[in-house]
Amino acid sequence: MTKASIDNASRPAGFLTFTLHAHLPYVVNHGTWPHGLEWLHEAAAETYLPLLRVLKNLERDHIRFNCNLNLSPILLEQLSHPVFLAEFPHYLTRKIVAAREDEAFFLQSGDNHLAETARFWQRFFSQALEDFNHFDRDLIAAFRHFNDTGLIDIITCGATHGYMPLLGTDESVRAQIRTAVDTHVRHIGKAPRGIWAPECGYRPAGSWSYPVSNADGTPTPPAFNRIGVEQALSESGLEFFFVDTHLVEESRRTSSPYDQPGDHKAQSHEEALQPHQAHRSLYQPYYVDGPYNKDHATTIFPRDPRTGLQVWSGDTGYPGDNIYLDFHKKRWPGGHRYWRVTGSRVDMNDKQPYYPHEAGERTKAHASHFVHLVYEALKSGFNDTIPPILCSPFDAELFGHWWFEGPLWLEAVARNLHEYESGIQLISCADYLDQYPRAGFIAMPEGSWGSEGNNQVWLNPETSWTYTHIYPAEIYTRDVCTAGLWRTSALGLRIMQQLCRELLLLESSDWQFLITTGAARDYAEIRFLTHNDQFNEVKAIWQTFESNGAITETGQTRLTEIELRDSIFPDIDPALWVSGASETRPDQPTLLPVATAV
């Protein structure tokens, strides 16, 4: 038997890679309940700590998970913030007390089952408090441990989740990414290899025009040739990101600079639209084509649509199963949930009691079903020279917060693949790229994983007004950073750093998303206007400094207040916004060549 045949015999027939996108907008010092810090507390208790318990269980039992976990930079800043660290134990204590009060009420009412469910919530939040203290109140260090042991690969995101297809300057795109990388290194201890492009938003290089006019009355800038997302990522040493299905299905395969001369023949338009063999189009990574340095080409992994719908859909997916915990019906004042889904169209008053043990058992059947779906999706490529990979990306908060049993389901999938021979193995994207070549180069259209696959969730008649403020703020920041006066004194640097912080917070795509969906429209509008007002206040303070070399006592006081409120990215570098900044790429090894055949 040859070495190649031995390697093929021991190699999995296919791979599954989970990507969990953990992100919340900046809520510290900006409200508590119902919107604000409560969101962070809920996510930490219901998603992040349960996920850490899953990782701890799998590590104990020597079971692979190897998922890509994005901890967004602004989430890292919040999980390490003194306000969160001080308030989270109080939140957990309130939840425990509320569950005890619920138990007493149900016992008095003679409802023993709901009283037992109240005891379940007592145990759940007591466990969360115990785990938080066990991790020395440092969730980031806990995740970093599993990153260092290889059970997960922590990747990054835009600094404040800025939606890159609609950002108004190349410098803003680069600063979102480079600030993200710097923040990741500070918290995780090493540079990320991959990134979750916010909202899976992608834009190619090319001519672009501002879609709205400026609210401040300044002239709308002319169209310009902007860089593609792939170039900004490559310049920051990032190797891969994720895109939605349709961007690959609508893509055009291009010639590879790594192919030998004469390897290509002329393609018809129809042939060019087929990135690779039909059965592999979504189950392989690709280099992204574009006018940038392809010695360090960036890679994309496409999202698999069928398995994705099965996991996140509340109507046809697992979370909508009748036996799982209903997200919407809560008992006040404690906010605990005691009822199961019962049925997608069942009235709130008719929801039936929740049975935690039965729901936990149901995750095992759904995990087995999911593995079968992955097998069916990949099996046509099992005999290919390069094994296929199925990419399943989700918002991390789906697991635990929205779908309470979700973390148990993730653990059940890992255990199923460990215990039963399916030929499929879990792997991180970075590990896959270290072992196997890309399928080729593709040129993609602009798009996202939002409704209709385009930009409409973030730019529509309800949100377009936000961009009339964002664009002039981006251009002003680029201009004053480029002028360089801030470099001449500590005060100038301090003012400009806060201006950059407020711009980043203004650019968060969460505000437009919450406005469009109506989930928390009033809060999102207030938050956007708050950061816009604070940007303009800092701008006025800067202009005083620009004229006088100093600022007033009132300006000093206000600057300090804004700094304390939005104390993120302590080492933020205004040089990232200088015109043409960040074009120099960190030293990285050249990527592997592409696959020549399957």
Local confidence pLDDT in tens for the 598 residues of the chain: 333 433 455 789 999 999 999 999 999 999 999 999 999 999 999 999 999 999 999 999 999 999 999 999 999 999 999 999 999 999 999 999 999 999 999 999 999 999 999 999 999 999 999 999 999 999 999 999 999 999 999 999 999 999 999 999 999 999 999 999 999 999 999 999 999 999 999 999 999 999 999 999 999 999 999 999 999 999 999 999 999 999 999 886 554 332 333 333 333 333 333 334 554 689 999 999 999 999 999 999 999 988 998 998 888 899 999 999 999 999 999 999 999 999 988 999 999 999 999 999 999 999 999 999 999 999 999 999 999 999 999 999 999 999 999 999 999 999 999 999 999 999 999 999 999 999 999 999 999 999 999 999 999 999 999 999 999 999 999 999 999 999 999 999 999 999 999 999 999 999 999 999 998 999 999 999 999 999 999 999 999 999 999 999 999 999 999 999 999 999 999 999 999 887 766 654 433 333 433 3
Mapped onto helix, strand or coil, the DSSP state of residue 222 is coil
What is residue 270's predicted lDDT score, i.e. its pLDDT? 34
CA distances 378 to 306, 383, 389, 489, Å, are 12, 10, 8, 59
Tell me if residue 216 is catalytic.
no
> Looking up tokens 């460990």, which residue turns up?
418
Interatomic CA distance for residues 502 and 495, integer angstroms: 11
Which residues does the annotation place in the binding site? 303, 320, 449, 510
What is residue 581's predicted lDDT score, i.e. its pLDDT? 81
What is residue 281's predicted lDDT score, i.e. its pLDDT? 87
Contact present, 120 and 129 (Cβ < 8 Å): no
What are the chain's domains?
16-75+137-209+225-260+285-455 (3.20.110.10), 463-577 (1.20.1430.10)
Interatomic CA distance for residues 242 and 248, integer angstroms: 11
CA-wise closest residue to 538 among 586, 477, 471, 484: 477
Q: Select which of 395, 431, 546, 563 is catalytic.
A: 395
Interatomic CA distance for residues 230 and 320, integer angstroms: 37
Structural tokens at position 298: 């960036």
Which residues does the annotation place in the binding site for substrate? 303, 320, 449, 510
Omega before 34 cis (within 30°)? Answer: yes
Whether the model pTM is above 0.85? yes
Q: Select which of 131, 199, 304, 405 is catalytic.
A: 199
Residue by residue, what is the 3-state secondary structure of 406-424? HHHHHHHHHHHHHHCCCCE
Tell me if residue 199 is catalytic.
yes
> Looking up tokens 């907008």, which residue turns up?
25
